[in-house]
Amino acid sequence: MVDLSQYLPILMFLGVALVLSSAFVFLPMAVARLTGAHKPSVEKLSEYECGFPAFEDSRAQFDVRFYLVAILFIIFDLEAAFLFPWAVSVFDLGWTAWISMMIFIGELALGLVYAWKKGALDWE
């Protein structure tokens, strides 16, 4: 027979998380309705884009290059996130950590060269 009392802390944690998350979602909406901040008007419900109406449909397709640049940014941003803690503790970690980081940076450099040669960084 399984003792279900061991799951009580997990259920309590899930209950508290559910209560807090629903409070963060629904409490501001209720306060806005009670204080009068929720008064929809034509101006509030209209699109806002730099102070003037949109020129074209908001569902227009973007060029793939936007996504490529975003992915490359994320990759090199993650490199910096790995590089800074490593740089702080490199002398304590030894040669193994240094060699593994050089391999990591080399792989990223190869990826950058590949993206550059394929024209992913060219902007027309």
Residue 46 in this model has a pLDDT that exceeds 80: no
Cα–Cα distance for residue pair 16/14, rounded to 1 Å? 6
Copy the structure tokens of residue 63. Answer: 């060029």
pLDDT class for 76, splitting at 50, 70, 90?
confident
User: What is the percentage of the chain residues whose pLDDT exceeds 90?
Assistant: 23
User: What is the percentage of the chain residues whose pLDDT exceeds 70?
Assistant: 89
The pTM score is 0.46
Return the pLDDT at 59: 72
Task: Identify the structural domains of the chain with CATH numbers, from first to last.
Answer: 4-118 (1.20.58)
